[in-house]
Amino acid sequence: MNSVHNNLLLQIMFLYMFIQSNLSLPTKQTVILALKTQQISSGSLPKAPNKLSFHHNVSLTVSVAVGTPPQTVTMVLDTGSELSWLHCKKTPNTPSAFDPLHSSSYSSIPCSSPTCTTRTRDFTVPVSCDPKKLCHAILSYADASSAEGNLASDTFRIGNSGLPGTVFGCMDMFSSSNTEEDSKTTGLIGMNRGSLSFVTQMGFPKFSYCISGRDSSGVLLFGDASLPWLRPLNYTPMIQISTPLPYFDRVAYTVQLEGIKVSGKLLSLPKSVFVPDHTGAGQTMVDSGTQFTFLLGPVYTALKNEFMRQTRGVLRVLNDPNFVFQGAMDLCYLVELSRTSLPPLPTVSLVFRGAEMGVSAERLMYRVPGMVRGGDGVHCFTFGNSDLLGIEAYVIGHHHQQNVWMEFDLAKSRVGLAEVRCDLASQRLGVAE
């Protein structure tokens, strides 16, 4: 799921490495990719084709090689989407795009193919046949952007592993509120549990990532993370249902949120508010394609009120009813520009079945870029109201996954969490600069 626009651009570049020691699997070798984040201004965007700027908040991106001979493309890592897609060249000299005409292994998928009729929630509009009898698809996202083009297949390479015949969308039409920035993006890599997702097509039973909020480093790992220094993971089971429901995404990484604590105090809410209703609305999804965390209205209001109560006299509330950051975050504060750090803040803990995720210090606040009120900067609480976005779900964004080892175990249908210094994890794996 792509999240709502803001003016911050962040670039994440992956450097490939291949580990063949005690990280190997019986049938596949583990692939480790180094992660580097770099905050850039819109006026200094790099033009190299293997670098990506992306305006849908802060996004995680991975560089892979596609086609024969290989073309380097950079794709947003999205655990909330199924179908991967690339900007495909329609005219010469198109920047940051994949050129299918220069790949001998590229193949268009006809609309008569069973792949064309594979059901995925990514297709908000049913697939159709174009005039050339090719499979035509339209993808839409929560930020109102969309991509349109044909389904195709080609060879994708991760590390030393090549996967021929990988299905993806070769998109040549786009709609967005920021066309200039979108023209520089290369695509999206879908990582949910659907049959067309990249991780499913690769055949790895699990993958992990660790995002550093300290020194802009991190790591993405495909395969088994048998790392002796990694703390024991606390696992929470993925919630699965057999009956299709209109508002329940059955291929998302859905876990069960059971409560929220503020400085150890559990919010006084019935557990029923965290359980999906008869329509499927109210599931809790772990989504790397969304920056912040969004909660259904009643839970968001309870958290907001308790956080305000515990920070009274510590933080100054921005009393401006006309300002709602990203359309869903209405709790913002004024912080003196002269301050080099925020005052001590209460820890917010998301309580899952079998595991907890603590959110503390700077991860609780986000400085709104370029917004100054007098001598103050504006910092907003990093939890939002999903009701204001029209999303019938709880969404755990990657901002709150910083310095948490996140393992997605598809074989055992569970998500593992462990607090870890992600910059140190990268160094131990030999992928930090």
Tell me how many domains the chain contains. 2
Average pLDDT of span 245-255? 93
Q: How far is CA 125 from CA 128, 176, 369, in A?
A: 9, 17, 35
Task: Of 313, 53, 33, give the one whose Cα is nearest residue 181.
Answer: 53
Taking the model in full, what pTM does it have? 0.84
| Contact in structure between 31 and 18 (CB atoms under 8 Å) | yes
Contacts of residue 416, defined as CB under 8 A and 6 or more positions apart, other chains included, come to 208, 233, 234, 235, 355, 405, 406, 407, 409
Q: 256 and 192 share a domain?
A: no
pLDDT for 17 equals 31
Q: What is the pLDDT of residue 314?
A: 94
Residue 221: pLDDT band by 50, 70, 90 thresholds?
confident
* The pLDDT of residue 167: 96
Could you tell me if residue 125 is inside a domain? Answer: yes
Catalytic residue among 122, 287, 330, 409: 287
Q: Could you tell me which residues come within 8 angstroms of residue 264 by beta carbon, excluding any fewer than 6 positions away?
A: 347, 349
Q: Report long-range pairs for 93-100 (Cβ below 8 Å, ≥24 apart).
A: 95/47, 95/49, 95/183, 95/184, 96/49, 96/52, 96/183, 96/184, 96/185, 96/186, 97/186, 98/66, 98/67, 98/71, 98/73, 98/170, 98/186, 98/187, 99/67, 99/71, 100/67, 100/152, 100/154, 100/170
247/149 same-domain check? no
- Residues 189, 271, single domain; the answer is no
Q: Is 409 a catalytic residue?
A: no
Sequence-ordered list of residues with C-beta below 8 angstroms from that of 266, at least 6 positions apart, any chain: 259, 260, 351
Q: Region of 154 please: left (phi>0), alpha (psi -120 to 50) or beta.
A: beta
Domain assignment present for 131: yes
Average pLDDT of the chain to the nearest whole number: 81
Within a domain: 269: yes
Query: How would residue 20 be classed by pLDDT, with cut points 50, 70 and 90?
Result: very low
Residue 51 has pLDDT above 70, yes or no: no
Residues 245 and 188 in one domain: no
Indicate whether 411 pLDDT > 90.
Answer: yes
Q: Is residue 227 part of a domain?
A: no
Q: Which two tokens stand for residue 311?
A: 């920070």
pLDDT tens, position by position, 55-109: 233 567 777 899 999 998 888 888 999 999 999 986 666 666 899 999 999 999 9
Among candidate residues 153, 186, 204, the one where a domain is terminated: 204
State mean pLDDT over 129-133.
91
78 catalytic residue (yes or no): yes
* 196 and 305 co-located in one domain: no
Higher pLDDT, 399 or 181: 399
Mean pLDDT of 208-224: 77
Whether the pLDDT of residue 384 is over 80: the answer is: yes
Both tokens assigned to 297: 């209205």
Q: What's the pLDDT band for 211 if we cut at 50, 70, 90? A: confident
Is residue 122 located within the same domain as residue 269? no
CA dihedral 116, 117, 120, 124 (to 10 degrees): 90
Q: What is the CATH number of the domain that holds 23?
A: 2.40.70.10
Q: Are residues 292 and 159 in the same domain?
A: no
Same domain, 341 and 408: yes
Instruction: Among 204, 224, 244, give the residue marking a domain's end.
Output: 204
Give the domain extent around 340.
234-428
CA quadruple 286, 38, 200, 174: dihedral sign: positive
pLDDT per position as a tens digit, 301-324: 999 999 999 999 999 999 999 999
Percent of the chain scored above 90 by pLDDT?
52
Question: How high is the pLDDT of residue 88?
Answer: 92
Last-in-domain residue among 152, 186, 204: 204
In this structure, is the dihedral angle defined by the CA atoms of residues 373, 376, 382 and 384, taken in order, positive or negative? negative
What's residue 16's pLDDT? 31
Same domain for 142 and 186, yes or no, is yes
Q: Which of 14-23, 255-264, 336-345, 414-423 has the lowest mean pLDDT?
A: 14-23
20-24, 188-192, 331-335, 339-343: range with lowest mean pLDDT = 20-24
More confident residue, 363 or 10: 363
